[in-house]
Structure 1
Amino acid sequence: MDSISKSFEQNKEEEQSLQKPTQSFEEFLSRLPRQCGWIPLIDFYHYQGCWYHPLFLRGVIAAQQHFEAQPTEIFLCSVPKSGTTWLKALAFAIVTRTKYSDLSSHPLLSTMPHECIPCLEIDVVRKEYSNQTDAFPLLATHIPYHSLPKSIISGGCKFVYILRDAKDAFVSLWHFLCRATPKDATYVSLEEALELFCKGVSSYGPFWDHVLSFWKARKEAPHRVHFLVYEEMRKDPLPSVKNLADFIGHPFSVDEENEGVLQKIMDLCSFENLSNLDVNKKGRHRPGSMLAIDNNAFFRKGKIGDWQSHLTPEMAERLDQITREKFGGTGLPLYVSDADTHGN
């Protein structure tokens, strides 16, 4: 039995335990394995094969218990810091391009992408958003496939999954959480974070099992799961954006392409454009909440291979070795499994 199926099966007992009406969330947490997380004084909890910050775990469980999916819904999925912000911007611009045909006043110029598409385990379960409509079917989540609410799996929903080189995803996540850590607190060092990441202890991790959960679903139902590769999109975004639009049911017409609509959307959603907007340089995401963070934390560099400025050759090889062991023979893009020339 593979690790994903095993983790799903062995945690049925957790689900049954959580159904007890007298058991509080805090009592439930006390029964789960726990591990020091990346943020000081906040432990991660192990549930259905993954590690969670308690705030996110509460949302995951609420979604599993109460969310009723609509068959037209499309979920944008990823491991954190794998290109989620860019994917949200592109998908939002594609789906709403008729409504916001005047790009000079487009919502993305004044609203950061994470506020344009609600997150299942944070926004939707807290009733801050109602179910989506056929006209705007997009939702986002970091929940691994095997832990999604049953109504999503059985309801015919579609999934767009974006993956990124584990080395860059790790470095990006570490920088992000350093920014999220209170200024008077001590955040984990890069070396400590790497040790946790390699053990699978990271938000919604293990990284590799998360990717494989959706890859397995894609192999079983390719018409429902569409994979995007961050590095391929950065090098040549046009084919990926066209395929994304086709998959989510909003293809670009020949006339739109001739009129430059596709190119304008790519320009609008480019890292260079979004990162230089006032809202993303000076704004704040979820102000007043425990998840509040400056918008600029979501726009650091977006560069392929930035890990080379942070990881030693030995650290990089350690991540690559796990990637080769986990992804080898699966059919995932070969660049993910191939060792880079470390240290160059």
Structure 2
Amino acid sequence: IDKMVEQLRKQQTKMEPVDRAAQDGDEVTIDFKGIMNGESFPGGSAENTLLVLGSGRMIPGFEDGVVGMNAEEEKVLQLSFPEEYHAKELAGKAVEFTVKVHAVKEPVIPEINDDLFSLFGVSEGGEPKFREEIKKNMERELKSAVRNKVKSQVIVGLVDLHKIELPKALLDQEVDRLRQEMMQQYGGGQGFDVSMLPAALFTDQATQRVSIGLIMSQFIKDHKIELDDARVEKMIEDMAQSYESPEEVVEYIRSNEQQLNQLKSVALEEQVIDRVLESMKVTEVATSYEEAVKPPAPAKPASASDDDSKAATAEDTGEK
């Protein structure tokens, strides 16, 4: 809980102006102009840009050179681009940066007081109530994370044990659905023909989804599993507890057919998981809270290479 309190405090960090020389961790507002072989180069200059010293955003030596500077001070830095710099025409080249600092701000972490508590919806009860709410949220997140990991392991086990021939029509439908999801996730423009995205990008995931759906459906039939309405109600209440007005959330979900049907599907899926776990040997493994709630790494589009990603996000300035 102490770690979480500190994490929440840091989330509310504000940058406040200071009348002193810049140091690591400070945010500075700077102008800089790069000169190479006596000439400026594209992307080598910027005005009124914000830089957190020690962030590693700029090439080696740049941020260290700004440390110790005061507001309205100007300085010339003699540096070199790294040999492995992404812009090949700049890699390994000597460069001179003229840097002017306009402002220096330091990070200020809020104190543990009523002002902090109110930011997280705790208006009375002071620190004890604040810590109590943190504990409740952590327990809720932990329970959900552990449940999801167990669920994932069970599903993987079921798919591995039941190799089935999948109808091509179902696979094609799932591939189309995944195409649409990718378009939404990565901001595809209207009018783009999603069928232009190669089916091979989605085949593995579509195969897994269809396999899981068919296996679950057959398991439900074989074991005559019926939806547990009490479980659905419990899920609605648990979900609502993470909001400021739980009663309104409960009412919204109950009146929203699509949302309610999604919860019913999840509840039925969990009933299948419970039934499977009854016949399995479960081994408990000790782990930290941080490790238990850590989400899986998001999958990158198969078409995006590391080099493409790097080139798209890096500027041809003194930035890495």
Identify whether the pair has TM-score above 0.5, normalized to the shorter chain: no
Q: Which has the higher strand share?
A: 2
TM bracket, shorter-chain basis: under 0.3
